[in-house]
Structure 1
């Protein structure tokens, strides 16, 4: 079993403080999927190519982000969840143009992104790491100087590495699956993104015994639920659902079901995380 502390009481107390800070401003919630909006359908942005988090196979969607999204949607009273592919570089545009109501796509909360969208959560905290060949000598960012490193355009991972290792030969693809394939073929030296994502790839049948996660995280990635800028009503509704998911044990079950098979150990000191105040 994955070990961690629940911390549900703290989670709820922070939510209460956040709701008080939000006041009565609905932030245009009538335009969103929650916050008083009618209808039974909701459009949710997820990744389609991240095993263990957001993966589409035929008409089936699986992963931790998918499980959290389905739980939240149910609590919002939505019976028809329509999943939309949300590549990293398109997430802000998908929200701004109304193509999605919410985004659950390993969407790290950053000050820069909060200029364009609002966030509920966070609902998970991961750490940036490296995926390399099993016989690789790379043990961390300090070993990347002059190496060919892959990340995805529009991700915080690429920006972090540029700052950490100016001498790295960074190549940005549109999906992590393409990066993983290139590393497995020896065309690139490493892939960097969140450890949760990397663990999913390392656990896939085609990469077992070929790829490994270094296991030396060098950042903190706070996964938030992206939504329309200023929609505090929807943010509050999502946070209520996230709190309930922790309290009733569904969050634990989702963690175990999706990360357990990959042997990924969730950091009990940071998960489940405290919720931010809606604003």
Structure 2
């Protein structure tokens, strides 16, 4: 009887251990960052599959968005297609995966994508989570608001509601530097712009390049604060430790710089939106050299 009872208890303990093991959170490495929940594909595995998976935005015009014909377009998408061509021989050998700002790191950790090209600003906090390639763009934060209640300074937002998207540098900057400003947070960019248009917030902040483009396309709104916070860089990101893929992307960035690829990208995808509002030299980075 005792042997049967002991066996039953051991069975329960073993089952509990298995369940706990299945649901255990990812372990932290020596830097305090969580280890990936799934191993990223190597460069050779990507080549063998014949397709590279790239995470992009689907609602951040003009960097990553779905157009009226249902096709994915934008500055990041243009680069993603070239990356696929240089690696696999054809720009058609890319699978674009739509991500949200707050899910970009998780999509790399869980190996749902090989690369993130979703207007990803390089920050020290993110460097603990992912590996960034050389930059291909410069950016700062901007603030857009209605013409009849134009916000020209951060002090004018005191007591007002500022719309931000979760997981963005705008959320981090205003949370840390202006706690007196009430933040209305959304998961998606389209939700944020709809909230601004509906008057649910007094202003919206994200990358200045994007709010400038949106204001040009939406009458009645102006970017009253064209630059706030630090000037940052945008770069491709891979799962932390995926050195082989990272090194390949960096070498490709250097090669693309020799042909001024990102200036061509600007002319094709951004100039039709901005016109002469933005000097490409204030945005484009060639060869990874800021």
Provide the TM-score with structure 1 as the length reference: 0.80
Equivalent in the alignment of 1:255: 266
Residues 1:72 and 2:83 are matched in the alignment: yes
Q: 2:188 aligns with which of 169, 172, 175?
A: 175
Structure 2 contact 54–116 (Cα < 8 Å) conserved: yes
* Structure 2 equivalent of residue 240 of structure 1: 251
Does the Cα contact within 8 Å between 2:262 and 2:286 map onto a contact in 1?
A: no
Distance 1:146 1:34 in 2: 54
Cα separation, 2, equivalents of 1:150 and 1:114: 26
Residues 148-192 of structure 1: CA deviation (Å, up to 9, x unaligned): 101111112111012222211101101122111221222211110
Report how far residue 35 of structure 1 moved: 8.6
Secondary structure class of the residue paired with 1:100:
coil
Residue 46 of structure 1, CA deviation? 0.3
State the Cα distance separating 1:268 from its structure 2 match.
2.5
- What root-mean-square deviation, in Å, do the aligned CA atoms of Structure 1 and Structure 2 show? 2.2
**In 2, Cα distance between the equivalents of 1:69 and 1:100?**
12
Q: Give the conservation status (yes or no) of the 8 Å contact 1:246–1:252.
A: no
Rounded Cα–Cα distance in structure 1 between residues aligned with 2:112 and 2:145: 35
SS in structure 2 of the partner of residue 181 of structure 1: helix
Evaluate the alpha carbon distance shift between residue 136 and residue 66 of structure 1 in structure 2; reply closer, same or farther with a 3 A threshold.
same
CA distance in 1, matches of 2:192, 2:40: 40
User: In 2, are the aligned partners of 1:39 and 1:78 still within 8 Å (CA)?
Assistant: no
Structure with greater contact order relative to length (CA < 8 Å, sep ≥ 6)? 1
Q: Determine which structure has more spread, i.e. the larger CA radius of gyration.
A: 2
Q: Where in structure 2 are there 5+ consecutive unaligned residues?
A: 1-38
TM-score, normalised to structure 2's length?
Answer: 0.78
Q: Which deviations, in whole Å up to 9, do the C-alpha atoms of 1:36-80 show, x marking residues without a partner?
A: 842320110000001110001354111111111111221112531
Match of 1:188 in 2: 201
CA contact (8 A) 2:162 2:184 kept: yes
Q: How does 1:18-29 map to 2 (within 5 A)?
A: none
Q: Which segment is superposed worse, 30-39 or 54-63? A: 30-39
Residues 26-45 of structure 1 correspond to what in structure 2 (within 5 A)?
31-33=41-43, 37-45=47-55
For residue 173 of structure 2, what is the aligned residue in structure 1? 160
**Structure 1 pair 148/235, CA: closer, same or farther in 2 (3 Å)?**
same
Of residues 84, 96, 99 in structure 2, which corresponds to 1:83? 96
| 8 Å contact from structure 2 (residues 257, 287) kept in 1 | no
**What's the CA shift for 1:255?**
1.0
Alignment of 1:143-158 (within 5 A): 143-158=156-171
Partner Cα distance (2:287, 2:253) in 1 = 10
How many angstroms apart in 2 are the aligned matches of 1:37 and 1:214?
A: 47
Which residue among 141, 165, 169 is the counterpart of 1:128? 141
Q: Which sits farther off after the overlay, 218-227 or 257-266?
A: 257-266
Q: Are 1:55 and 2:65 an aligned pair? A: yes
Give how far 1:193 is off.
0.7
Instruction: Judge conservation of contact 1:182–1:188 (CA < 8 Å) in 2.
Output: yes
Identify the match of residue 213 of structure 1 among 223, 228, 239: 223
Determine which structure has the larger helix proportion and give its number.
Answer: 2
